Amino acid sequence: MTEHEYQNFVEKENAVIDGIDVSGIWNRMWEPRELTGFDFTYLDKVTSLPGGASMRACYQCAECVGACPVDNVGSYGPRKLFQRLQRGMDLFNHPDLWLCTTCNNCLRVCPKGVDMMQVMPAAREQAILDGNVPAELQEMLQNVAEYGNPMGESARRRTRWTKGVEYPVRDLSKDPGEVDVLWYVSDYFSYHSRGNDAARAMVRVFNHLGVDFGILGRGERCDGDSQRLCGEAGLFEELVEHNHALFEQNPHQTLVVSDPHAYNALKNHYPELTGVEYPVQHYTQFLAGRIAQLNGLLTGEFARKVTFHDPCYLGRHNGEYEAPRNLIETVPGVELIEMFRCKQQGYCCGGGGGGMWLDGLTADHTSERLSENRVREAVEVGAEVLAVCCPYEVSRFEDAVKSTGNEDVLEVLDIIEIIDMCIG
Ligand code: SF4
Ligand code: SF4
């Protein structure tokens, strides 16, 4: 501190308050002091971006500190980001730009409305324009742009999972037209082997319920929500245009999605671009509306201790906590137990906001994966099954079960798989 700054205070020579002598230094009050010697270029750059302004509202109250799942396994969160920006950090060339999973837990508690769900995509978009993108993320974005899915698989293989399913699946790319339920299958249900298991289970459950449904087949492309949050607004717009045209070509009563990220996109962000409100339901909501019918079909038992992981984009972002729990509790024999961090306070799996494709970068800046932290919590509460309803999660949590040595303790299942096991 400089000599000059030492002089910027006021104090009373003599002061006694409630009988206590607080004279001189004990009542000293500093005049407001400005931070000096720091370069605010990047703070100004962030806050001048469309969507970036709320970053400047942070007043360091620390409400967000305990809320951030990344801070739980590292050193992160809006409060720290703001401090670092104040001290001149170039966020556009810093790993901090990519660590946020946009889980929405900080905004839930922030009294000043510092909104990382807007700040991060805005800053990331700028970084992408400047060519500063982690290689693992760049590959994913290229795959989505070129092939319509993050894995870089061909569109032709999108329906390969339907082979061997005992029930017919109407492929609207070959047989277009009206259908009661248009099921937007999503990338991980279509291409990932464990997602395929859940997709096949969904077909069986739909058929037992007598649902008239169809899928977009090779026409379906990635919903784009994670890409939007990674800063690829242009790619998101292309995907919206493409998928929206297919929704229009195939009239439907309900648009059922397997993926909370697709749910978030279709409910909150597609309408901003298309002007259309979609009759979208996450599959747990759709099935929760048919619990009476399901009760008659669920003849098998699932006598195990089950805990449920709230997906950030179904729960905190869209307020749906009950439909998945109602479904799990419908299954005969299940004992549903809650983890310490659940519902509004649910812990993030690490896959949101691009985290799904940033495991390498995240590993360099955290003590363990968020999914590993979550698996330990599930084990700690005595769960035998970790139930999920987001296509990102089965693979993330199964990896985490292995890396934490819990293969013999905890099984990861999509809720639709549990229901399918107990039908008939
Ligand atoms: S809760 Fe909001 S205002 Fe408080 S430290 Fe965090 S970002 Fe800043
Ligand atoms: S959105 Fe989630 S991960 Fe990102 S800073 Fe906020 S609490 Fe942390």
Residue-range domain boundaries for the chain: 1-31, 41-129, 149-288, 297-421
- Asked if 196 and 164 touch (Cβ cutoff 8 Å), the reply is no
Question: How far is 332 from 126, CA to CA, in rounded Å?
Answer: 51
Q: Specify the length of the chain in residues.
A: 424
| Rounded Cα gap, residues 162 and 172, in angstroms | 13
Q: How far is the CA of 35 from the centre of ligand 2 (A)?
A: 26
* Separation CA 75–CA 418 (nearest Å): 37
- Would you say the CB of residue 112 lies under 6 angstroms from ligand 1? yes
pLDDT at 3: 45
Closest CA to 42 of 98, 115, 112, 94: 94
Which ligand places an atom closest to the C-alpha of 348?
A: 2
Q: Ligand 1: which atom is nearest the Cα of residue 110?
A: 1
What is the C-alpha to C-alpha distance for residues 145 and 284, in angstroms, rounded to an integer?
Answer: 29
Q: Which atom of ligand 1 is nearest to the CA of 61?
A: 4
Q: Which among 102, 111, 97 is positioned nearest to 64, based on CA atoms? A: 111
The residue whose CB lies within 8 Å of the most ligand 1 atoms, and thus the one to mutate among 60, 105, 118, is 60
Residue 255 CA to residue 267 CA, distance in Å, equals: 11
pLDDT at 2: 44
Terminal C-alpha separation, the chain: 75
Report the alpha-carbon distance of residue 97 to residue 316 in Å, rounded: 22
Q: Which atom of ligand 1 is nearest to the CA of 59?
A: 3
Distance, in Å, from the CA atom of 291 to the CA atom of 294, rounded to the nearest integer, reads 5
Please list, in sequence order, all residues whose beta carbon lies within 8 angstroms of the beta carbon of residue 169, skipping any fewer than 6 positions away: 159, 162, 203, 214, 215
Ligand 1 geometric centre to CA of 233 (Å): 26
Which DSSP helix (H) or strand (E) runs through 282?
Answer: strand 280-282
Q: Is the distance from the beta carbon of residue 344 to the nearest atom of ligand 1 less than 6 Å?
A: no
- Residue 31 alpha carbon to ligand 1 centre in Å: 23
The segments of the chain whose pLDDT lies below 70 read 1-7, 33-36
Extract the runs of DSSP E, i.e. beta strands, from 85-244.
170-171, 179-184, 213-215
Cα 394 to ligand 2 centre (Å): 22
Write down the pLDDT at residue 9.
81
Residue 267 Cα to ligand 1 midpoint, Å, equals 28
Query: How far lies 246's CA from each of 173, 177, 272, in Å?
Result: 9, 10, 18
Q: Is 267 in the pocket of ligand 1 (CB under 6 A)?
A: no
Specify the residue with its C-alpha closest to ligand 2, atom 6: 106
Are 249 and 227 contacting, i.e. CB atoms less than 8 angstroms apart? no
Please give the pLDDT value at position 1: 41
Q: What is the pLDDT of residue 31?
A: 77
From the CA of 347, the nearest ligand is 2
Nearest CA to ligand 1 atom 2: 110
pLDDT at site 424: 73
CB 74 within 8 A of CB 348: no
Look at the block and give the residue holding tokens 């990382």: 116
Domain 297-421 fold is Rossmann fold (3.40.50)
Residue nearest to atom 1 of ligand 2 (CA): 102
The β-bridge partners of 280 are 255
DSSP SS3 for 298: strand
Structural contact between residues 216 and 182, judged by C-beta atoms closer than 8 angstroms: yes
Locate 346 and state its tokens: 């649910």
The stretches of 148-288 forming alpha helices (DSSP H) are: 187-191, 193-209, 225-229, 233-249, 260-264, 270-274, 283-288
**Looking at residue 33, what is its pLDDT?**
67
Ligand nearest the Cα atom of residue 118: 2
Domains 41-129 and 297-421 fall in the same CATH topology: no
Pocket of ligand 2 (CB under 6 A): 67-70, 77-78, 100-106, 116
Fold of 41-129: Fumarate Reductase Iron-sulfur Protein; Chain B, domain 2 (1.10.1060)
